[in-house]
Structure 1
Amino acid sequence: MAEQSRGLVLVVEDDPAIADLVQRYLLREGFGVHVEKDGAAALAAVRRMRPAAVVLDVGLPSMDGIEICRTLRTEGDWTPILFVTARDDEVDRVLGLELGGDDYVTKPFSPRELVARVRTVLRRGPTAAEVLAVGGTRVDLTRRRVWANDAEVALTATEFDLLAHLMRHPNHVFDRSRLLSTVWGYSTTTTRTVDVHVAQLRAKLGTASPIRTVRGIGYAADPS
């Protein structure tokens, strides 16, 4: 295990060549890295080491990445998870996001892009105390905590960033491509990721959700 300044990233990958490549690029960017190749060992490592983020392959021996994510989220562990999948199948990717994954890349991928996405899911809020309130939802940007109708709600790092971005600009309509660029830090022709995260936010926030769909365009936080 290598320990460096940006926090520890657990890389879970059973292909040694890919694991080594990802590790080298993360180390180059100042992250600490620990590698596991087995699903059950990876789950134990998350519980033991409390990494800042997990780069998680979907296809693994003993326990796949989807099951690892499901188990952690059921336990209340919301460590940011970036899925890596060899299957070019949107169902797998969307399922991972619905379980509480923060982002995904598909093999073959650019290691620079993967590192950029790790940095994105690890972004933290401003140092100055600030609480946003729109409708029945309150967001504490400093402590990264969210309440819906006074009940605290657990969000993934990406869900939090998306909600906070919309609530910082009430009534401003953002198209999906703009949200991908601003919140995720990249642009792509596939905007399904945004829709999945919005659906998950609405499910978690319930009647307090301030997110409004603007047909044919995107989403806005509506104070009404």
Structure 2
Amino acid sequence: MIKILIVEDEQPISNLIRLSLTRAGYSCTCAFDGMEAADLLENNRYDLVLLDVMLPRVDGFELMEYIRPLEIPVIFITAKNSVDDRVRGLRMGAEDYISKPFEVIELLARVDVVLRRYQKTDETLTVGGLTIDTRSMRVRRGNDDIPLTHKEYELLLLFARNPNTALYRETIYERVWGGEYTYGSKTVDLHVQRLRKKVGWEGQLRAVNKVGYRLEV
């Protein structure tokens, strides 16, 4: 399982990140100041660090100097959103820089991108009674293979990596089809209906009024 260290001193934000990532299938550990994070990094191996800048005892930029030789990818998540701060964080070796406040779906997407860049994503996902082999793009329910089109597979993967999260139609369209969503388009709805039937998610892949869809697991 992918292990992520969350270094954030604000308890509500830390809890939100941890809960969202745990639901998405990641193993999370939380640290609430820079020194605690350094101790955890010294004694454990993590696949990704989510790092606030303004931390007690040791700030995020100072901690980044400690992390860099460990070759662990880092995403800064911080209210310090000036151009100078973003440039400083990226030049120090961070893979990404997310400004607060942020949308959970954006955070999950950026985490997924960085992990794939480092080839650290789980090869197999198990969700909603399905087994998804992300290397071979093979989807099974029990011992039975489920044939999907490329777009259906991408749609399935999006829901599987964001369980219990309401996804806007605009977000779904942008992530699966690319480009800008056209209001009133039925593309997303038609593909979701077909996907439901093919994978047996009629009771789990639910419509969210005026929003889009949510996979309930």
Superposition TM-score, scaled by structure 2 size = 0.53
Distance 1:60 1:106 in 2: 15
Deviation string for 1:55-82 (max 9, x for gaps)?
0001100011111111222xx2110100
Distance 1:80 1:72 in 2: 9
Deviation string for 1:29-87 (max 9, x for gaps)?
100000000101101112211111000001100011111111222xx211010001102
- Tell me the matched-pair count: 123
Matched, 1:26 2:28: no
Match of 1:113 in 2: 106
Counterparts of residues 207-218 of structure 1 (less than 5 Å):
none
Q: Give the C-alpha shift of residue 119 in structure 1.
A: 1.1
- Paired AA for residue 77 in structure 1: L
Match of 2:36 in 1: 41
Match of 1:103 in 2: 96
Distance 1:49 1:114 in 2: 23
Match of 1:13 in 2: 8
Matched, 1:82 2:75: yes
Describe the SS at the equivalent of 1:122.
Answer: helix
Q: Which has the larger radius of gyration?
A: 2
Distance 2:37 2:12 in 1: 18
Match of 1:68 in 2: 63
- Paired AA for residue 36 in structure 2: A
Describe the SS at the equivalent of 2:97.
Answer: strand
- The runs of at least 4 consecutive aligned structure 1 residues that moved more than 2 Å come to none
Q: Give the C-alpha shift of residue 112 in structure 1.
A: 1.6
Q: Give the C-alpha shift of residue 107 in structure 1.
A: 0.4
Match of 1:175 in 2: none
Identity in percent = 38
Match of 2:51 in 1: 56
Point out where structure 1 has 5 or more consecutive residues left out of the alignment.
126-180, 188-224
Point out where structure 2 has 5 or more consecutive residues left out of the alignment.
120-173, 180-217
